[in-house]
Amino acid sequence: MTKPVIWITGASSGIGAATAQKFSKEGFAVILSSRNEGDLEAVKNSCAHPEACAILPLDLADSDSLQGKAAKAISLFGHVDLMFHNGGISQRSLAIETQMEVDRKIMEVNFFGTIALTKAILPHFQQRKSGHFAVTSSLVGIIGSPYRSTYAASKHALHGYFDSLRAEHAIDNVVVTMICPGFIKTNVSVNALTADGKSLNQMDDAQANGMSAEKCATKIYQGIKSKKEEIYIGGKEVMAIYLKRFFPGIFSKILLKAKVR
């Protein structure tokens, strides 16, 4: 029996690596992608079935290369069932201080790179009349918070794009699941860009005390299996979504007082 195939970007660490391990354990063939081939090799060896894992390095900032990467991914196992867009970069800087080239880099990686890869794999899904996009957004893809202006913008953009795509390709049995994590214990804040484009190189306290990547991966697997349109993952910070939705004025006042960095 042919294994279902998941292709994961941002698979070299954190949520991507934990999700690769979870889906491998659940019987999926896994295609691992990120810029760091050495780290991908380590993730492959940590999976339950490394013989059913393949490494495909890519750079989301190099949009012109992604059509070829999609063709290669399809050739590895003959098909792709699930495209997990997890690659991206975060931000820790005030909007007024952030250089435009940093804003552009965040949008290029988080939005345009993801969209280019989507356009590259979508005809394959359309031809097969089957396919699933899972997209790592963030709670700030629904609510904005200080020091994350362009990061939030890139995630908001993903919601708009994939909500439209879901409606356009329901006829092709293409499913879209937006994944909105809160504070997950990964290096996302360590690698976040500051105002001049340098990495923050330190972990936020909220991140350090957040949910484990492994628990997050289990919730991602369950949400994808259930074909949910959106899943919210985290602790009490998830309540901010509902506060923003139903009591926006109160949420804004809380956000003004919050010490979020």
In order of 37, 226, 233, 239, the CA distances from 230 in angstroms are 31, 11, 10, 15
Rounded Cα distance, 122 and 133, in Å: 9
If one counts every other C-beta atom within 10 angstroms of the C-beta of residue 76, the result is 16
Residues recognised as catalytic: 151
Rounded Cα distance, 133 and 184, in Å: 21
Rounded Cα distance, 73 and 141, in Å: 28
Cα 23 versus chain centre, distance: 15
Rounded Cα distance, 68 and 70, in Å: 5
Q: Tokens 């391990």 correspond to what residue?
A: 21
Rounded Cα distance, 230 and 135, in Å: 9
- Helix H or strand E segment including 219: helix 213-225
Identity of the amino acid at 58: L
